[in-house]
Amino acid sequence: MMVRIPLVNAYPGEPCRVVQIQGGRGLIRRLYALGIREGKVIRKLTTQFMRGPVVLDIGGAQVAIGFGMASKIIVEVDR
Amino acid sequence: MRILLMGSPNVGKSVIFTRLTGVNVITSNYPGTTVEYTKGTMRYRGERVEVVDAPGTYSLDPTSRAEEVAVAMVEEADLIINVADATNLERSLNLTLDLIRIGKPLIIALNLWDEAKHKGVKIDVKQLEELLGVPCIPTCAITGEGIKELVSRLDEACPSEFTYQDKWETIGQIVSQVQQVTHRHHTVWERLADASVRPFTGIPIALIVLYLSFRLIRFIGEGLIGLIFDPLFEHLWAPLMLKLSALLGGSGLLHGILIGELIDGNIEFMESMGLLTTGLYVPFAAVLPYIFAFYLILSLLEDSGYLPRLAVLVDTFMHRLGLHGLGIIPMLLGLGCNVPGSLSTRILETRRERFIAATIMAIAVPCMAQIAMIAGLVGKYGAKGLGTVFGTLFIIWVGLGILLNRILKGESPEIFVDIPPYRPPYMKTVAKKIWMRVKWFLKEAVPFVLLGVFIVNVLYTLGIIQIMGKLAAPIVTGLFGLPQETVGALLIGFLRKDVAVGMLVPLGLTLRQLIIASVILAIYFPCVATFTTLAKELGLKDMLKSVAIMITLTIIVGTLLNLVLPR
Ligand SMILES: Nc1nc2c(ncn2[C@@H]2O[C@H](COP(=O)(O)OP(=O)(O)OP(=O)(O)O)[C@@H](O)[C@H]2O)c(=O)[nH]1
Ligand SMILES: [Mg+2]
């Protein structure tokens, strides 16, 4: 079953399809520039302790973004 | 005519720039290496044209000072070489489409072509060229493949007639038309890459890396001094200087300036204070070996791609200081020299972050020249000496960061960083980089060291240090418990910290006095080179704020240390 969750709640390595970015224009533009946008399948690799940054895999490239940003990315996963 | 190199961070613009112009610039495997533009020239159509290397930017809407510098260069460019990342065409096209709308002659270098091949990424270059209507050339900057073709096809650069409505839809279409990805297996490097950002494995790895770096720097630095530089000065240079001393009659003005004072009829390189004795020994024998060792290790860390991973690991901690993880990069560069450290604060997004980073670095991050001298001064006391000095500086660094984060309005943004793949450092690149930095030290620092030693002589001869000593006695002696003569070192510290630390040697200070004096010298004010850089970066108002913090902190820390350290 497909469910929608914030990216930070995804399991490490699980394929996640981005469905929505709940942020302002600035955030959306920056995320887009790194290849994070609606429809893309990305994976969360790790999260650091205490709401630290989240490391993502986007088509083989790695990117680290803050926990807050990652909470605003809503993804669809198959659970 | 001016040619501009534009591209996302860390795609190889600076390597291409060096290939085109022969001008060496620093290149490293992390986004944000270049924070200032550099100009060079190359031959094109039989004439000299200007080529500009700019910082990397993901789009034409800048999000940091470094990106602003890049975007500001576009206006004045006559031709743009868009350096794209062949391993990540999709992301690169974002900037490419922006540049197409600018309407200037454009040519695209598909760099990192070798890595794209390894990754199983195939790009149909012909088709991409046809689609965009500008020349596209695969390049591998590091080996130079494709650079000749890039140069020979500059003539074909033209404004693109490509038009689009929805940018991301267009990018998606282009990528699906020209790119094919075949899958392949994970390499050992990639497994290591993952382990070094997972907290359970990453934090131990970081501790090991930092500990090894520290040990290696000390081992190499001390080894070079003990085995090469000290013997050279003691056995070859000292006898020569003694001859010169005799020739000059053993005393007098010229003798004082060139040789300085003989101690028990001998030359003491740390104490004599002549231009040819202490003036040469400090930069070449005491400091240079450590500078070399530090930059060797730093270059390896930079080129491997470890630094952005370290930034991710320390992010949570750095947020307490009002910075995000990338704030560690100006600090590491600052350990080499505070000048590049100050410039590198440009990779941070907000003014608030840049102020905090610059202030805590200028105060609590001593440069390698100073560290080397402090190591020479208190190293023999082991952890009781070195540990106390650097431990105190670390506490100040953390404490001041926390304090500034509390009192300054606003919040610091979250980390947002592209993590490059690990790459084996190329020995040639590393060697070139060390040489550039050592050369910079020789050119920018050595004259100041000599000037410093010269001024010491003048100040002593004119009796100025003695007068200043009396004036400053209430603070220096009263609060800090240091002898009046320490004022001489504090005066010279405005010019060069290494010479200033050296001036403590002949004063015969006790360990606690050495510790207090070393800490005070590190924090009270930046050297003139750092000060001018900071004033430019921060603006006068913020610089004055920063200076006010330095002075207040010096009084508090000096007094506290004097109270706390055992007598
Ligand atoms: N394998 C490979 N590595 C490359 C190539 N071009 C550059 N590199 C490496 O990529 C890293 C980044 O190169 P730089 O020239 O510093 O990149 P830049 O675009 O100037 O980066 P910023 O100044 O941070 O924007 C360095 O470690 C280079 O050695 C290439 O074609 N192939
Ligand atoms: Mg560069």
Q: Provide, as residue numbers in chain B, all residues whose Cβ is less than 8 Å from the Cβ of A60.
A: 87-88, 119
> What's the confidence (pLDDT) of residue B119?
86
Mean per-residue pLDDT, B302-310: 95
pLDDT of A1 above 90: no
Residue located nearest, by CA, to atom 14 of ligand 1: B12
Q: Provide, as residue numbers in chain A, all residues whose Cβ is less than 8 Å from the Cβ of B417.
A: 63-64
Q: In what order do the strands lie in the sheet with B38-44?
A: B38-44, B47-53, B2-7, B79-85, B106-111, B136-138
Q: Report the percent of chain B where pLDDT is more than 70.
A: 99
Q: In this structure, which long-range contacts are made by residues B341-345, counting pairs with CB atoms below 8 Å and at least 24 apart in sequence?
A: B341/B365, B342/B530, B342/B533, B342/B534, B342/B537, B343/B35, B343/B36, B343/B533, B343/B537, B344/B32, B344/B35, B345/B65, B345/B537
> What's the confidence (pLDDT) of residue B314?
95
Helix pair B188-195, B199-224: axis angle to 10 deg: 100
What does the pLDDT look like over B543-557, one tens digit per residue? 999 999 999 999 999
Mean per-residue pLDDT, A50-74: 92
Q: Does A20 touch chain B (CB under 8 A)?
A: no
CB contact under 8 A, B198 and A46: yes
> What's the confidence (pLDDT) of residue B185?
66
CATH class of B2-181: alpha beta
pLDDT of B211 above 90: yes
Residue B16 has φ and ψ, to the nearest 5°, of: -65, -40
**Assigned token pair, B1:** 């005519």
pLDDT of B188 above 80: no
pLDDT of B55 above 70: yes
Q: Provide, as residue numbers in chain A, all residues whose Cβ is less than 8 Å from the Cβ of B413.
A: 66
> What's the confidence (pLDDT) of residue B497?
92
CB contact under 8 A, B94 and A33: yes
Which position has the token pair 């809503």?
A74
Which position has the token pair 């410039």?
B343
Quick check: B137 and B146 in contact, CB under 8 A? yes
Which stretch of B182-186, B389-393, B436-440, B459-463 has the lowest confidence by average pLDDT? B182-186
Residues of A (51-70) whose Cβ lies below 8 Å from B: 51-53, 55, 59-69
Q: Which of B493, B514, B525, B499 shows the shortest CA–CA distance to B565? A: B514
Helix pair B351-364, B328-336: axis angle to 10 deg: 30
Q: Chain-wide mean pLDDT for chain B?
A: 92
Facing residues of B419 across strands? A62
Mean per-residue pLDDT, B323-341: 95
How many CB atoms are closer than 10 A to CB B510?
A: 11
CB contact under 8 A, A53 and B94: no
Identify the residue among B11, B190, B197 best suited for mutation to test binding to A, counting A beta carbons within 10 A and taking the highest.
B197
**Of A25 and B80, more confident:** B80
pLDDT of B267 above 70: yes
pLDDT of B182 above 90: no
> What's the confidence (pLDDT) of residue B401?
97
Mean per-residue pLDDT, B522-541: 93
The ipTM estimated for the assembled molecules is: 0.94
> What's the confidence (pLDDT) of residue B461?
85
What does the pLDDT look like over B459-502, one tens digit per residue? 888 888 889 889 998 999 999 999 998 998 999 999 999 999 99
Q: Which of B502, B524, B520, B526 shows the shortest CA–CA distance to B565? A: B520
SS3 state at B493: helix
CB contact under 8 A, A66 and B90: no
Per the confidence metrics, is the pTM higher than 0.90? yes
Which position has the token pair 């070399």?
B292
CA–CA gap between residue B334 and residue B344 (Å, rounded): 9
**Host H or E run for residue B29:** none
Mean per-residue pLDDT, B164-191: 84
What does the pLDDT look like over A9-60, one tens digit per residue? 999 989 999 999 998 888 898 898 888 989 889 999 988 888 899 999 998 8
pLDDT band at residue B95 under the 50/70/90 scheme: very high
B533 CB contacts (<8 Å, ≥6 apart)?
Answer: B338, B339, B342, B343
Quick check: B492 and B500 in contact, CB under 8 A? yes
CA–CA gap between residue B262 and residue B364 (Å, rounded): 35
| Burial grade of B283 (CB within 10 A; 0-12, 13-18, 19 or more) | buried
Quick check: B296 and B290 in contact, CB under 8 A? no
Phi-psi region of B454 (alpha: psi -120 to 50; beta: other; left: phi over 0): alpha
Binding-site residues, ligand 1, Cβ < 6 A: B 7, 9-15, 27-29, 31-34, 55-56, 111-112, 114-115, 140-142, 303, 423, 429
State how far residue B42 is from chain A, nearest Cα, in angstroms: 32
How many CB atoms are closer than 10 A to CB B65?
A: 20
Beta strands at A54-58 and A41-47: parallel, antiparallel or unpaired: antiparallel
Mean per-residue pLDDT, B248-264: 88
Q: Locate the domains of chain A by residue range.
A: 2-78
Just give the CATH number of A2-78.
2.30.30.90
How many CB atoms are closer than 10 A to CB B355?
A: 22
Q: In this structure, which long-range contacts are made by residues B389-396, counting pairs with CB atoms below 8 Å and at least 24 apart in sequence?
A: B389/B515, B389/B518, B389/B519, B389/B522, B392/B515, B392/B519, B392/B557, B392/B561, B393/B364, B393/B365, B393/B366, B393/B519, B393/B522, B393/B523, B394/B364, B396/B363, B396/B364, B396/B523, B396/B553, B396/B557
Q: Cα Rg for chain A, rounded, in angstroms?
A: 11
What does the pLDDT look like over B19-41, one tens digit per residue? 999 999 999 999 999 999 999 99
pLDDT band at residue B44 under the 50/70/90 scheme: confident
The best mutation among B4, B6, B15 to test binding of ligand 1, ranked by most ligand atoms within 8 Å of the C-beta, falls on: B15
Mean per-residue pLDDT, B422-432: 92
**Of B108 and B412, more confident:** B108
| Burial grade of B43 (CB within 10 A; 0-12, 13-18, 19 or more) | exposed
Facing residues of A15 across strands? A43
What does the pLDDT look like over B336-353, one tens digit per residue? 999 999 999 999 989 999
Mean per-residue pLDDT, B195-199: 88
Count of A-B CB contacts under 8 Å: 89
SS3 state at A44: strand
* B33 Cα to the center of ligand 1, angstroms: 9
Beta strands at B47-53 and B38-44: parallel, antiparallel or unpaired: antiparallel
